[in-house]
Amino acid sequence: MATRSTTPPPEDFTERIVDIDVEEEMRSAFLEYSYSVIYSRALPDARDGLKPVQRRILFGMSELGLRPERPHVKCSRVVGEVMGKYHPHGDQAIYDALVRLAQPFTMRLPLVDGHGNFGSLDDGPAASRYTEARMAPAALLMVTALDEDTVDFVPNYDDSLTQPGVLPAAFPNLLVNGTSGIAVGMATNMAPHNLVEVIGAARHLIDHPDCSLDDLMKFVPGPDLPGGGRIVGLDGIRDAYLTGRGSFRTRATARVEKVTARRMGITVTELPYLIGPEKVIERVKTLVQNKKLQGISDVKDLTDRKNGLRLVFEIKNGFNPDAVLEQLYKLTPMEDSFGINNVALVDGQPRTLGLKELLRVYVDFRVDVVRRRTAFRLAKRQARLHLVEGLLIAILDIDEVIQLIRASDDAAAAKERLMSVFDLSDAQAEYILELQLRRLTRFSRIELEAERDELRRQIAELEAILADEKLLRRTVSTELADVAKAHGTPRRTVLLESAGTPLTATTPLEVADDPCWVLLSSTGLLARTSDADPVPADGPRAKHDAIIGAVRTTARGEFGLVTSFGRMVRLSALELPTLPPLGGAPSLSGGAPLAVFVDLPRGEEPLTIVPLDPDGPGVALGTAQGVVKRVTPDYPGRSDWEAVSLKDGDRVVGAVALRDGTEDLVFVTSDAQLLRFPASAVRPQGRSAGGMAGVRLAPGATVAFFGAVDPAAENVVVTSAGSSDALPGTQPGSLKVTPYSEYPAKGRATGGVRAHRFLRGEDALVLAWVGALPARASGAGGVALELPQATGRRDGSGVAHGAVIAGIGAPVR
């Protein structure tokens, strides 16, 4: 326990108690603290755009010689150098300022070239002992001509060294890189801009000092953020440029695109200024969990160094991607507001400055820098010319000079005699005494005379700049133009007058249950249309335009897929990609493969699609062994079911949805027999039934095609013969197109009539199709193929065809 000291005070001690006003003392202390924060910490200087710690970092790195062409050094070394000599504060504060100068997502033109982990918008940097740094090329512009008396130097914190009170700044750093800071009773928040645009405005102000703000905004239309993005609404920007205060909204750059074969998504490539992807993802997840944001099934962060920022939001089927994007802008940081508060120090006092005032302060400062630099260079060249002229005098009379020096008792006497005999100044005489003998050659005199002439020319140019204010300002403008040419980059941020009308005001978030068509091509592509009208039959040919299945349903409706194993699989139209409005014959080039929507086992093949209408006449199936079945439309609610019981070795070769039961059912066999009979000859059966006899087959023959046609329509029969020993799809074979009316109707379970006569080398039909005109054939890759005109007898032979036909179909009327 501490005890009170009882040591008596010294005999000469005089007690003196001073009464002070606590309120006054706190006021004065707080004002001193406020002034220190404002002037020495939080606010930038309007001339070089730097806070004291940033200025000291760049000066310290310059003194260490950390130029862009030299190796990186540890950041801890830079921090220690700055902290020990110029900035007596915590090392973490210095390192944080150093890191910010190196971050390309913070600075529009970084001043430090960092090597290592300097953090991201979501994560902090590694410790200073792990990272390395050196000056960036732009930093050289900030310290250029620092040794030419361009700015005033002030003592450091302990008066042991001097440091620049401001850097020469060869470009308007405050506007280009922006800044932010919180002082006592005030704050600053300035947006970055494009270097080329800012320099263009500065040069215009140099040439036209009385120009208006609108004239300057032709060069600087708005901020240019390091991460790009979009600025929505320009009224706040003009207010900020006029008064120094204003705000604008920044939006992420996003586009709606297909992320998988069955899903649409929103891809974000640019976010608002200083907004990281993790912040957006966290906000989206919170909104989805709270059911305030609908339509998003997943979010993926695919950001990497090679491709940059890439956020992908997968949209649920049935939701409008554009409406979901509008909700993301409204509810997440993908749209953010930036408040401009242009507060900077001018002559040591904080002021709120508009665009013209900021440019004027910088231009006036730069003019003063160039004037002081010119005066310094003029003095240096005049001093050098003075020495060169004295040296030329000595070389002309070198023998007398040498004799005079040898006859002198000491250097002081020699200098006095040189000054008196040759009428030299003290500096000239001292320089001659230090002259090396090798400079006494004839070539040395020629070099000195050339140097003298060059110095006189340079002195005349420098004197002309100092004597003419217009020439001085033109020099400043020319140097700024060189900086823009060397370091300028294109604009990254897009400026928009407004965001337009929100989509959610007119477009529902979820996809409406509008009528549509679901189409299946002969190449296995599936898609739905945005049209409710019948699919047009006429139009120019295109890839994947041979349609083998078409179902009229709604955007949220369902349809069935019939497979060769006799199964029906329930599918949703909502998951299908949507084709643009059909102006002619449909092309499914924008469709998705069936394998994306249904996973069939090996050997099971998709045949066609049919409507799941419980009130319709049902579906007719035909098998390879000649069985026919009409399936009653009692479709179960499960995802798939058996539509026919097949015998061992049998498979379904064709299926068709009947319209009203008045159609003809058509079999075409591999031995070129065709049988047609009315669908009314087949009674509907339940799902477990095995069907009934459809066509009588010859030994070894199988069914090559089964379908249904409207006997009142104009139909054709397409048959292609070839060798049964050839691999499918390897031989074109002979092709024949015959009017359907040439084939008489026969009774069910009969053998039909002859449909194709085989030529030499042909023993089977490799392809058969019966349907309405126009019949459309497609080859490999969905390439459109033309069929010959329907001519010839029903039992005639075919003609050679140059291409292998992969499938045949016809648009729905």
Can the peptide bond before residue 68 be classed as cis, meaning omega within 30 degrees of 0? no
DSSP 301-343: E--BTTTB--EEEEEPTTB-HHHHHHHHHHHSTTEEEEEEE-E
In whole angstroms, what is the distance from residue 263 CA to residue 259 CA?
Answer: 6
CB 608 within 8 A of CB 569: no
Alpha-helix residue ranges (DSSP H) falling in 38-67: 52-64
- Where do we find the tokens 């199988």? 702
Q: Tell me if residue 329 is catalytic.
A: no
Give the tokens for residue 40: 């020495």
Backbone conformation region of residue 237, classed left if phi is above 0, alpha if psi is from -120 to 50, else beta: alpha
Is 318 exposed, middle or buried (CB count within 10 Å of its CB: 0-12, 13-18, 19+)? middle
In whole angstroms, what is the distance from residue 170 CA to residue 138 CA?
Answer: 9
Direct distance between the N- and C-terminal alpha carbons of the chain, in angstroms, rounded to an integer: 105
Q: Which residues of 277-287 are buried (b: 16+ CB within 10 A; e: fewer)?
A: bebbbebbeeb
Helix 426-433 × helix 411-421 angle, to 10°? 130
In whole angstroms, what is the distance from residue 129 CA to residue 220 CA?
Answer: 40
CB 568 within 8 A of CB 638: no
Hey, which bits of 486-566 come out as E strands? 494-496, 515-521, 525-529, 547-554, 558-563
In whole angstroms, what is the distance from residue 607 CA to residue 740 CA?
Answer: 23
Residue tagged active-site, from 86, 130, 329, 743: 130
In whole angstroms, what is the distance from residue 107 CA to residue 100 CA?
Answer: 7
Count of CA atoms in the C-beta half-sphere (13 A) of 39: 11
Give the tokens for residue 294: 């609908």
In whole angstroms, what is the distance from residue 223 CA to residue 337 CA?
Answer: 13
CB neighbour list of residue 26: distance below 8 Å, 6 or more residues apart: none
Q: What are phi and psi of 676, to 5 degrees?
A: -125, 140
- Where do we find the tokens 């008792």? 409
Active site residues: 130
